Structures are given as structure tokens and as C-alpha cells.
Amino acid sequence: MTDTSILKRSGLFLLDVLEIYLPTLSFVVLFVVFILQVFFRYFLNNPLTWPPEVISIAFIWTTVLGACYAQRQADHVNFSLIYDRLSPMGQLIFRLIGNSFIAIAFIIALKPTYDYITFMNFQKSTVLRISYAYIFSPYLVFLVLIAGRMLASIWVDVQLLRTQRDNLPKEVSLPVVEQIGDLLLDKDTN
């Protein structure tokens, strides 16, 4: 086994841990603690103080890290009414624009998010005394993973755009905006 394949397999395993195993574990914790709280509150008439806190923390970890897996599988909600009507080249351009906006926004958000998480290190949760830095740290992981996925998608689309360069319109008689509109709506370009 080469060093590259070991590194690749390690990276994929780390992604699986962050995107599959941790959200699954946090969801199981959320569910079990929720059932435990219902049992103590309604059957024993003795509600516990710590379950709502654990449930909230587990919910944050489940949703934020689970969203990374949804992005990996392209299994997230999207509104594709306009996108589906575009030509393949139009879809490629829309993907480049949209993914660029998301990547830029997430990269810009990295520093303020890191600053906030480190700032919240002094504050602890009410019952379990868990540092808020641990509670909110999955959001930083989310930003890094989604920005990385957007940059990878941009890279693939730029490579695809380079190979499709010959199919772009040759004439430059229309204003640029109209040319882009024609390129986006013309399904026969490719």
C-alpha cells in the first residue's frame, strides 16, 4: 500500500467519523436521553434537570455534522425550478457562481467563528458545566467541510469548463449580459 492511498483512506475515514459516526452517536444519545426524560417525568413524576441540556447539545451536533453528510451525498433540499431548465453549460455556470458565493462566505466566516468559539470557552452550560466551546465546535467543522466541498466542486466545474471552451459561442456581437443569458438558456449548446 502506498503512502498516498494510506493518506487517502485515513482522510476518508476521518470524514466518515465526522459526517456519519459522530452524528449517529449524538442522535442515539439524543433519543435515549429523551426517552429517559419522558420516563422520569411522566412515569416516575420526578423530572431530571440534565436531559434537556444533553438533548440540546446532541441536537446541535447531529444537525450540524449531519448537514455535512447531506452535502456529501447531494441529498439536501434545493430549489431547482430555474436550474433544471438551463442548458448543461448554464447549469455549470450557475453551479460555479453559487458554489463560489458559498465558499467565499464560509471562508470569511471561519475567523469570526473560531474567535467566538474560543471566546465562549470560559462559559459553561448550566447543569453539566460543559464548556460552550465544545458545544459549538461542530459549527467550525461544518464551515471547513462545506467550504472544502464547495472548493472541490468549483475545481471540477472549472476543469469541465476548460474542456467545454470550444462549445462557447464564437461571436461577440451581443452585449456580454445577453451572451451569458443566451448561453444559459440555449440547451443545444452542448
Residues present in the chain in total? 190
Instruction: Based on the fold, state whether residues 147 and 91 are members of the same structural domain.
Output: yes
Which pTM was predicted? 0.77
CB neighbours (10 Å) of residue 145? 21
Domain match, 56 and 85 both: no
Q: Based on the domain organization, do 23 and 102 belong to the same domain?
A: no
Range 88-94 contact pairs with CB under 8 angstroms and sequence separation of 24 or more: 88/187, 88/189, 88/190, 89/164, 89/167, 89/168, 89/183, 89/184, 89/189, 89/190, 90/183, 90/184, 90/185, 90/186, 92/157, 92/160, 92/161, 92/164, 93/161, 93/180, 93/183, 93/184, 94/184
Q: How confident is the model at residue 180 (pLDDT cuts 50, 70, 90)?
A: very low
Mean pLDDT of 9-14: 87
Give the model's pLDDT for residue 179: 44
Grid cell listed for 12: 476518508
Give the end of a domain, one of 23, 43, 77.
Answer: 77
Question: 33-37, 111-115, 184-188: which range is least confident on average?
Answer: 184-188
Indicate the helix (H) or strand (E) that contains 50: none
Same domain, 61 and 110: no
Number of domains observed in the structure of the chain: 2
Query: Could you give the CA distance from residue 118 to residue 76 in angstroms, rounded to a whole number?
Result: 30
83 shares a domain with 70: no
Cβ(183)–Cβ(93) below 8 Å: yes
Range of the domain at 58: 1-77
91 and 128 belong to one structural domain: yes
Q: Give the pLDDT of residue 186.
A: 52
Query: Side-chain half-sphere of 173: how many Cα atoms within 13 Å?
Result: 2
More confident residue, 23 or 171: 23
Same domain, 126 and 157: yes
Residues 67 and 91 in one domain: no
